[in-house]
């Protein structure tokens, strides 16, 4: 009797666990679909202290490249960043995670990006951030069976323009 009870409790616990995992996965899809296309916030920068250290994408950090760290967009996303104080802008690629969430900043930029935006001395600046959407059209492959010769080459459409009305012919 106790063995049957243990089996029943185990099955019940497993079913609860699977239901909670399914609902968590569904909730994650709902939350990710509701993202903004742009944001405004404070950006900081990081440079020599992180030079050569590994980033979240697995590569080494280079402060001379136009890169950024963010928690809010996927790695590899290309962002257009505008300094709201002076209007300068730069295009960067997200290669790392950061800044620390408790700092309430939207981006950490590389030293090169901060230099282009003109806020190296200040350390922080208000920015407008928007992703640059990539559109690469993919052409449909044409199947070789569709490339056949027409059965009768004499059946070629031609077009002959109609003669202008007599009124217009006499005006020439």
The per-residue pLDDT for range 9-19, each reduced to its tens digit, is: 677 666 766 65
Q: Which residue has the higher pLDDT, 36 or 43?
A: 43
Banded model confidence at residue 100, pLDDT cuts 50, 70, 90: confident
pLDDT, tens only, 53-80: 999 999 999 999 999 999 989 999 999 9
Facing residues of 125 across strands? 43
Rounded to whole angstroms, the Cα distance separating 141 from 156 reads 26
pLDDT score for 28: 42
For the entire predicted model, the pTM comes to 0.59
pLDDT at residue 165 tops 90: no
Q: Which residue has the higher pLDDT, 140 or 34?
A: 140
State the pLDDT at residue 116: 96
- 3-state SS, the chain, equals CHHHHHHHHHHHHHHHHHHHHHHHHHHHHHHHCCCCCCEEEEEEEECHHHCCCECCCCCECCCCCCEEECCCCCCCCEEEEEECCCCCEEEEEEEECCCCHHHCCCEEEEHHHHHHHCCCCCCEEEEEEEECCCCCCCCCCCCHHHCCCCCCCCCCCCCCCCCCCHHHHHHC
Instruction: Determine the pLDDT at residue 152.
Output: 64
pLDDT at 128 exceeding the cut of 90: yes
Mean pLDDT over 74-92 rounds to: 95
CA distance 113 to 111: 5
pLDDT grade, residue 172 (50/70/90)? low
Mean of all residue pLDDT scores within the chain: 80
pLDDT score recorded for residue 29: 41
What the block records as the tokens of 123 is 């350390």
């Amino acid at each position: 009797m106790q063995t049957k009870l243990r089996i029943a409790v185990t099955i019940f616990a497993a079913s609860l666990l699977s239901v909670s995992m399914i609902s968590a996965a569904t909730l994650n899809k709902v939350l990710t679909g509701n993202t903004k296309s742009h944001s405004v916030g404070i950006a900081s920068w990081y440079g020599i202290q992180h030079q050569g250290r590994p980033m979240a994408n697995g590569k080494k950090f280079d402060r001379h490249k136009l890169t950024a760290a963010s928690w809010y967009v996927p790695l590899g996303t290309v962002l257009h960043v505008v300094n709201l104080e002076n209007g300068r802008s730069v295009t960067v690629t997200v290669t790392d995670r950061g800044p620390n969430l408790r700092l309430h900043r939207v981006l950490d930029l590389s030293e090169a990006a901060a230099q282009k935006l003109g806020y190296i001395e200040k350390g922080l600046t208000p920015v407008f951030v928007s992703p640059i959407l990539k559109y690469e059209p993919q052409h449909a492959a044409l199947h070789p069976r569709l490339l056949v010769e027409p059965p009768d080459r004499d059946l070629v459409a031609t077009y002959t323009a109609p003669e202008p009305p007599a009124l217009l012919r006499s005006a020439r």
